[in-house]
Amino acid sequence: MDPAVKADKVAAMAAAWKAGALALDPDAAIEAGATIPGRPARPELVPPRLVGRRSMATLEGRAMLIHALAHIEFNATNLALDALWRFAGMPAGYYTDWLRVSREEAIHFSMLSAHLQGLGYGYGDFCAHDSLWEMVEKTSGDIVARMALVPRTLEARGLDAIPPLRAKLAQAGDMAAARILDRILEDEIGHVAIGNHWYVYLCGQRALEPRATYDVLAARYRAPALKGPFNIAARRLAGFTESELASLD
């Protein structure tokens, strides 16, 4: 499916739900082994080390960075949709939350894709890697692991990464891109907060201690080690506890 068409369809789905024309069924879910539809043929997916250097000194290098960010947001749209329909039997608020996330991630993708076109390039013109989606696939059979390791681990890394990326783009004179990242950071704090909320909820339902359980899941699924510098203020707003924040220092 064309990524722009998919973003429009996500917007239409969210609008239909808001208008009362779409019901979210907590008892319906896809099979654990099923894959999400709508992945485009491009960009070519390669190992992270082969993505290429993104120098802010050239237009192409800046476009490569915007492309990489657009790819993350497109994957994040699919991630939210997968969380929405992968796992049955959750409270209604869970599905409402992930529908909201899918809509906002699609907006982020559309903003970055439009900016990329303004630079003379399109989504798919550069290669990309699939590290985020690999963890989505690994956790497709375990909702606790999904909440622990995708929104509150991999997506939370975006909270740390956005400020320095924004600074680079602003220094290169691309204030339009910098403003897009301001919007993304604001929304992503809410997305990570949703992951934190449902992770803590699930741990409570299953009588699991959240910190100890996280360590077990991170080891089991080989989550990447957390590396600073950390955006402590954004992580605090996203619902990480003071104990978790202290462990990052």
**In this predicted model, what pLDDT tens digit does every residue of 163-222 receive, in sequence order?**
999 999 999 999 999 999 999 999 999 999 999 999 999 999 999 999 999 999 999 999
Q: What is the pLDDT of residue 29?
A: 57
Q: What is the pLDDT of residue 249?
A: 67
- pLDDT top residue among 127 and 67: 67
Answer positive or negative: Cα dihedral of 56, 60, 65, 66.
positive
The total of other beta-carbon atoms located within 10 Å of residue 91's CB is 11
Going from N- to C-terminal start, the domains of the chain cover: 40-247
Distance (Å, rounded) from C-alpha 170 to C-alpha 181? 10
**In this predicted model, what pLDDT tens digit does every residue of 54-84 receive, in sequence order?**
788 889 999 999 999 999 999 999 999 999 8
**In this predicted model, what pLDDT tens digit does every residue of 10-39 receive, in sequence order?**
888 878 877 777 776 666 655 544 555 566
| Diameter of the chain measured on Cα atoms | 53
CATH of domain 40-247: 1.20.1260.10
- Computed over every residue of the chain, the mean pLDDT equals 89
pLDDT band with cut points at 50, 70 and 90 for residue 50: low
- For residue 229, whether the previous peptide bond is cis, meaning omega lies within 30 degrees of 0, is yes
Distance (Å, rounded) from C-alpha 212 to C-alpha 196? 15
